[in-house]
Copies of this chain bind each other. A is one copy, B any other.
Amino acid sequence: MEITRRDLIKVSAATAVLGAFGEASVAFDDPLPSWNKGPAKDAILAFVKDTTEKSSSKYVEPKDRVATFDQDGTLWTEHPVYTQAMFAFHRLGVMAPQHPDWKSTEPFKSVLAGDHEAMGKFTEKDWMEIIAVTHAGMGTEEFLALVKPWITTAKAPRFDRLYTDLVFQPMLEVMKYLREKGFKTYIVTGGGQEFVRSYSDRIYGIPPEQVVGSSIVTRFDNSSGKPVLMREPKPFFVDDGPGKAIGINMFIGKRPYAAFGNTAGDQQMLEWTQAGDGARLMMLVLHDDAQREYAYGPARGLPDTHVGTFSEALLTQADKSGWNVISMKNDWKRIFAFDK
């Protein structure tokens, strides 16, 4: 058989088509396109394979597939201060004209003066006083009516972007990938449960019932004939440190197979996760990218900023326990969706 020029064109066209298809298919198959190849990405892919492939000895029934995520510093930026603290400061500014005494009374004085050094030294009692006037003394619906317009418009100064734009694209991909593989994804945050629920579904695809967080006491009040849950200036549950393991058991009643955090406040959540049988994935985000986001430790010689601390002790425990440390600088191709 004679090979004509026409045959060669056909073959070459077919190769081109197959080639393009092949490439497209590789890109399409990567569930974590914002992750660079490396041990962190490999650990996630191996974990999913181990727990979801029927032939795996570590296969996990879909109903037991639970993955938990800290929020501040794990799912979105927590520097220079937590977004919820920014909301509280905003509320203090709005309310200040009705409270002339705040100009001379701590902790309000320092907030209104923008005295970051003084604010850095606030005690738990100081914070509770700020929470009391900005987060309590109203019904849950009234509170949400204050949060929603703020969270949909307020911008983080350094980026001139909505706070909700400062979500880490690689983590969105992990959550989406886990959900596609049958995992139920939960936020387990030291932040206020009601606050985070106001945007969690829209931003993370996580519905209110999958947000475990800190809360203040609420009181059922039906004195007006229309029941209200009044938010009281009194802490009820602190979902941080040991509270994260406690909160997971109380709200979910199942042990996670995967847990993601970034500080010592997530340590017990990771310990609780790891103490289960089979394949478990424990990961900690290290903020080592001052250029694209922030850099703070003090682990690995990064600056100690006292917000979202990643200590040497935590790094030592991670190494000892086989927890995966995610380097934002090296492991993440993109940090934010708006990054090129």
The chain A residues found within 8 Å of chain B, CB to CB, are: 63, 140, 184, 193-194, 197, 201, 207-209, 211, 215, 218-220, 222, 226-227, 229, 242-243, 245-246, 249-254, 268, 271-272, 275
Contact = CB atoms under 8 A, between A and B. Distances in A.
Contact of A253 (B197, B227, B250, B268): B197
A275 B208 CA distance: 19
B249 A140 contact: yes
28 contacts: A63-B201, A140-B249, A184-B209, A193-B250, A193-B253, A194-B253, A197-B253, A208-B252, A208-B253, A209-B209, A209-B252, A209-B254, A211-B253, A218-B249, A218-B250, A219-B242, A220-B242, A220-B243, A220-B246, A220-B272, A226-B275, A227-B268, A227-B271, A227-B272, A227-B275, A229-B245, A229-B249, A251-B251
B253 A229 contact: no
Contacts of A209: 184, 209, 251-254
Nearest to A222: B271
A208 B250 CA distance: 9
Contacts of A243: 220
Given A227-B275, A242-B219, A246-B220, A63 B207 contact: yes
Contact of A222 (B184, B220, B254, B268): B268
**Copies of this subunit:** 2
Nearest to A221: B242
A219 B243 CA distance: 8
Given A184-B209, A208-B253, A227-B272, 9 more contacts: A63-B207, A208-B254, A209-B251, A209-B252, A209-B253, A218-B246, A220-B246, A220-B268, A229-B245
Contacts of A227: 245, 268, 271-272, 275
A292 B220 CA distance: 37
A101 B271 CA distance: 40
A11 to B, nearest CB: 51
Nearest to A271: B227
A220 B272 CA distance: 9
A218 B245 CA distance: 10
A268 B222 CA distance: 9
Contacts of A251: 209, 251
A101 B245 CA distance: 37
A97 to B, nearest CB: 32
A292 to B, nearest CB: 33
Contacts of A249: 140, 218, 229
A53 B99 CA distance: 51
A269 to B, nearest CB: 10
A67 B194 CA distance: 20
Contacts of A242: 219-220
Q: Which 6 A-B pairs have the closest CB atoms?
A: A208-B253, A220-B242, A220-B245, A209-B252, A197-B253, A227-B271
Contacts of A250: 193, 215, 218
